[in-house]
Amino acid sequence: MLRIKYRYLDLRNATLLRNLKLRDEITRTVRRVLHENSFTEVETPILTKSTPEGARDYLVPSRLNPEKFYALPQSPQLFKQILMVAGMDRYFQIVKCFRDEDLRQDRQPEFSQIDIEMSFIDEEELFQLVETMMAAIYKETMDITIETPIPILKYQDAIDRFGSDKPDLRFGMEIVDLTDTVAGTEFKVFADVLKKGGQIRALNARKSSELLSRKALDDLTDLAKTYGAKGMAWIKVNADGLQSPITKFFKKEMLDAMMSKLGAEVGDTLVFIADTPKVVADALAHLRLDIGKRLNLIDESKICLAWVTEFPLLEYDAEEKRYVAMHHPFTAPRAEDLDKMESDPGSLSARAYDLVLNGNEIAGGSIRIHQSDVQQKMFKLLGIDKEEAEAKFGFLLEALQYGAPPHGGIAFGLDRIAMILTGSASIRDVIAFPKTQKATCLMTEAPSEIDTKQLKELKLKFDLS
């Protein structure tokens, strides 16, 4: 904690200085590549309007307009789309964004985005531009030539094979579906899940018998539980037979079928999760990563980039009892799905894409909706009625009516890219003055109390009850 308080002293540390310099090289390269490709950097407002869909906003009270607030942007999304309407065909900006949510190793309340938007493009053109940019970044900062084009992975395949929409592709150990294989089992835990329409899936941790001790398996079980699993079944394939708390519940034929599907050999450890598809995917995704680390399967020198595409357009939010946009509400559905917007919204596929680097989401974007009527339908699907849509996004709907070119874009997490390229463990190591987990700045002691005069000017008072 001393180190963050006296950040100016810690910054004398060679590693931090090197990180900041590498970060500078990244932004310099990005600006050069984008300028070479006819992009214009345009600044958008920091004091802007609250759009309370999504993350919590940081708010700024307005002195000249008592009881009204600006919001700090969560992203320049709407401004960049409107720039497209204005005919600024190739926009970019390296820009601060703000989200008032809890912090993580890779999450700060204010973070920097490389924000890009282009008119008259499709996914392919945008991917090419991004690949040029990523190749230049790696070449100029690390002198590494990356392979292009970057492979494309469909969202559903990513979930099925890795349990995650941001898989770490530096190692294998893919998920195996055993739901059909164990149909009719007497093992109550699996049978109950099957009855409720859940899944049984598993991983084969090859040659792990020595590293995955009983204690390690208990730790893995606890890990699975943090993602909602009730437990984790396991089988160790020893030279003298199977060691497992669950094999006794299975008939030999079924057990053989499971083993063969998993390609089990002596020395392997098999771990199973049975639950709803979401829990199975979450738990196995994290088990895969954890086991990968324990077994030292991850080649740190590898650079595995992948596009993840064909995300669902909407996700059903059980708590709010409505659909929410998986990416954001301005993302275009695929053209062939347009007629299903009313009949079967849950099945819609989005023209959205993420760029994943070694298991980290480093960028995300989409082809946007450029027709006012489609945008209005989208709001309707999200349970945003006409008045609310008008109040929050009226300026966008209106702008679209003036004729917007087809457009799309992407936003990169600059801090995350810098974190990965410098090999840092935390995003804080590539930010000159980062905030703590409670979103405070130990050096300046922000946030801080303000004096009564300031409150009065802003016509604010605290409810001290």
Partner RNA sequence: GGGGUCGUAGUUCAGCUGGUUAGAACGCCGGCCUGUCACGCCGGAGGUCGCGAGUUCGAAUCUCGUCGGCCCCGCCA
- Tell me which residues touch RNA (CB under 7 A): 1-4, 51, 53-56, 74-75, 77, 99, 101-107, 226-227, 282, 324-329, 426, 428, 436-438, 440, 442
Nearer to RNA, 25 or 388 (CB): 388
- The CB-of-56 to RNA minimum distance in angstroms stands at 7
Yes or no: say if 135 and 146 are a contact pair by the CB < 8 Å rule: yes
- The CB-of-226 to RNA minimum distance in angstroms stands at 5
Q: What is the distance between the alpha carbons of residues 155 and 311, in angstroms, rounded to a whole number?
A: 5
Nearer to RNA, 1 or 335 (CB): 1
Q: What is the distance between the alpha carbons of residues 190 and 175, in angstroms, rounded to a whole number?
A: 17
Q: Is 419 helix (H, G, I), strand (E, B) or coil?
A: helix
Q: What is the distance between the alpha carbons of residues 309 and 158, in angstroms, rounded to a whole number?
A: 9
Burial classification of residue 445, based on how many CB atoms lie within 10 Å of its CB (0-12 exposed, 13-18 middle, 19 or more buried): exposed
Among candidates 287, 304, 185, 307, which has minimal Cα distance to 234? 287
- The CB-of-378 to RNA minimum distance in angstroms stands at 11
First to last CA, the chain: 33
- The CB-of-196 to RNA minimum distance in angstroms stands at 20
Nearer to RNA, 179 or 426 (CB): 426
Nearer to RNA, 139 or 322 (CB): 322
Q: What is the distance between the alpha carbons of residues 129 and 354, in angstroms, rounded to a whole number?
A: 14
Q: In 382-443, which ranges are continuous DSSP H helix?
A: 386-401, 414-422
User: How many Cβ atoms are within 10 Å of 347's Cβ, its own excluded?
Assistant: 11
Nearer to RNA, 235 or 384 (CB): 384
- The CB-of-24 to RNA minimum distance in angstroms stands at 23
Nearer to RNA, 77 or 181 (CB): 77
Q: How far is CA 244 from CA 238, 247, 255, 262, in A?
A: 10, 6, 12, 16
